[in-house]
């Protein structure tokens, strides 16, 4: 019987390959995925979470400037 974590890793890789192959995927996202695959997954996730937080705050500030309450 296959190890469930190994199966999930395979599914994740298939999903990443699918995203990489999709013509609408930006070059920036492709580069980020390829870079993340080559890194320690814990470090890559931590950095991605920090980046997502920063980008979210930047977007919130931009929206607030353009659509003040």
Confidence (pLDDT) at 51: 97
Contact 29, 37 (CB under 8 A): no
Contact 30, 16 (CB under 8 A): no
**Tell me: the pLDDT tens digits for 12-48?**
889 999 999 999 999 999 999 999 999 999 999 999 9
Structure-token match 């980046």, residue found:
51
What predicted TM-score, i.e. pTM, was given to this entire model? Answer: 0.74
């Amino acid at each position: 019987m296959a190890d469930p974590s190994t199966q999930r890793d395979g599914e994740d890789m298939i999903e990443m390959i699918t995203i990489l192959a999709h013509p609408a995927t930006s070059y920036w996202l492709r580069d980020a995925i390829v870079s993340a695959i080559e890194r320690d997954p814990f470090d890559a996730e931590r950095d991605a979470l920090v980046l997502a937080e920063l980008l979210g705050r930047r977007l919130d500030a931009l929206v607030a400037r353009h659509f003040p309450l």
